[in-house]
Structure 1
Amino acid sequence: MSLTKRNEMMFPALMNELLRPDWFGGTQNVRAAVPAVNIKENEENFELELFVPGRSKDELIIEIDDSVLTISSETKEEKEETKENFTRREFTLSSFKRTFSLPETVATDKIEASYNDGILKFNLPKKEEALPKPKRKIELS
C-alpha cells in the first residue's frame, strides 16, 4: 500500500481567481508595515526614533512595563465612493506594534518622548551608575 497526497481543491485556478484581493476592481488595502527605527547610544542616553508619518499624537499608544517599551497605533478609515448606479465602500485598517527590551542601565522613570513631522523621538537617559565617571587624580601618600 502506498500513501499519496491528494489535492482537495478541484479547481485551484478558479479558486485563486475568485480569492484575488482585487476581484471587484479594488486593491488590497492592508498595511501591516512596521515603522523604521533608528537607535543611537551616547554617553548619557539612548536616542530612539520611529518613522510614523500620517498619525496624530492621539493615535499613538506608548507604554512601559518591566523594562519593555511598547509603541503601537491603530487607525480605521471608512470611505464610500458612488458613481452612477454603483456604490463601493472600503474600510482601511492600519496598525503596528513595536516592542523594545530596554537595558538595565536605562532610567525608565525619566524617559521623554516627542512627536514632530512624522518622527516619534524618545530620549532614554541612563542611570547615574551607568554614566562614565570622570578622571580623577590619586595622590600618593
Structure 2
Amino acid sequence: MSYEKEDLKKRLKPIQFEVTQNNGTERPFENEYWNLMDEGIYVDIISGEPLFSSIEKFESNCGWPSFTKPLNEESLVEKFDTSFGMRRTEVRTKKSDSHLGHVFPDGPPPEGLRYCINSAALKFIPKNDLEKEGYGEYKKLFEK
C-alpha cells in the first residue's frame, strides 16, 4: 500500500488528507466517531493498523473520540507540539506517519491519559465485522 501524498490525495476524503498529512484538526462534535459507543476497534485510515478499542473509549466531552490507551503503544509515536501557542503531545502512527491527534494527562484512572483523536484519521471496525475485515484476532477483546 502506498503512503505517497499523491496516492493518498486520491484515496482519502479531503478532511482525512488534511488531518493525517497536514496535522489538521476536524471540528469538535461534528465528526464521525466523537459519540459512537459501539463495540469494535479503530484502525489507521491509511495503513489499516489497529490503534484503539472501544473498550478504552470514554466520553470526555471534548468533541473528539477519546481513549485511555492504545491497543499497542508500539504503533504510536509521540512528539512535542508547540503549534498554536500551546504545549501538547502530538500522537502519530509509526507505520504511516499519520497525524492522529494529541494525548493529554487529564484522562480517567488508572492510566490518567486522554488520547484525543481525530475521527478523520480512523476507520471503525464493528465487533461483528472483525473477522470478515481481517481483524479476527481482536474478537477476544469483546468476549465476556
Q: What band does the TM-score fall into relative to the shorter chain?
A: under 0.3
The two structures have a TM-score, normalised by structure 2, of 0.23
Structure with a larger share of its residues in helix:
2
Higher-Rg member (1/2) = 1
